[in-house]
Amino acid sequence: MIGQQAASIERRSGVALWRQIADQILHAIAVGDFAENAALPPEMALAERYGVNRHTVRSAIAALVQDGVLRAEQGRGTFVLSRKRLSYPIGARTRFSAGLQGQTSERHIVLLASSVEPASRRVAEALGLARGADVIRLETRGEADGHPVSRAAAWFDARRFAGIDAAMAETGSVTASLKRFGINDYLRQSTVLSARHADAADLVDLDLQPGAIVLVTIAVNVTLDGQPIQFSESRFPAERVELRLSANDQAMP
């Protein structure tokens, strides 16, 4: 199924034809079927390929123009604006910015909010704490070239990591913040990955359109001797990000 365009749509599915076509065009761009600034096939050609009326194709294109993905020029054609998806590294030594070098010109993490709360069952289990013990929650957003590429919530033991919220706000880096607590290296113990449609929160947090897909990772980081230090849930916009798992992780200084 590599390199071949399905180019088929389903009627009476509850998803409007124009949206299905818009999604397929988005996918084709992401997969590399169209280069940047390349011209899309004419509306009539697309209408024939998908077996729909030209106006339906126009609705799809209008939505993508609205999203800043395409630019339509009367008499000339419709052209691709958007760039490729970001390939986001994930593995035993995942760090936010390390693996994105060369793909974007600018990237950083923003601390949106922090709070102390009692540990839920899930968080307590992951961190090896008693249920209801105080944990610090950090809400962060990762951005690259001004576009959100991740949205995460991370939990830490409040007793051991008191003040990590301030460190995070100052340094903008989990790795740097953990160093202040004597943790110079850590590993990703486990990652559970799933995908779903974006909910209302995702639409706001990741600047998505309704119907978009988010990748969700739930992970536990541990010290080198296996002590859990961080539990986190991250969301990535599938249209802008792919996750790259690599076996040959390099150690960080």
Sites of contact with its own copies (CB under 8 A): 1-3, 6, 8-10, 13-16, 18-20, 22-24, 27, 63, 85, 87, 90, 92, 120, 122-123, 153, 187-197, 199-201, 203, 209-211, 213, 215, 233, 235, 238, 242-248
At closest approach, how far in Å is the CB of 203 from DNA? Answer: 16
Minimum CB distance to its own copies smaller for 87 or for 184: 87
3-class DSSP state of 148: strand
Give the shortest CB-170-to-its own copies separation in angstroms.
25
Give the single-character DSSP code of 29.
H
**If binding is defined by CB under 7 A, does position 209 make contact with DNA?**
no
Distances in whole angstroms, Cα of residue 253 to Cα of each of 33, 93, 95, 219, 250: 39, 12, 12, 22, 10
Q: Which of residues 14-33 bind DNA (CB under 7 A)?
A: 14, 16-19
Element (H, E) at 153: strand 147-157
Residues 6+ apart with CB under 8 A from 201: none
Q: Is 76 in the site for DNA (CB under 7 A)?
A: yes
H or E element, residue 190: strand 187-197
Question: d(Cα 110, Cα 43) in Å, to the nearest integer?
Answer: 41
With CB under 5 to 8 Å by kind, the binding choice for 195 among its own copies, DNA, none is its own copies
Residue 187 interaction partner, one of DNA, its own copies, none, beta carbon < 5-8 Å per kind = its own copies
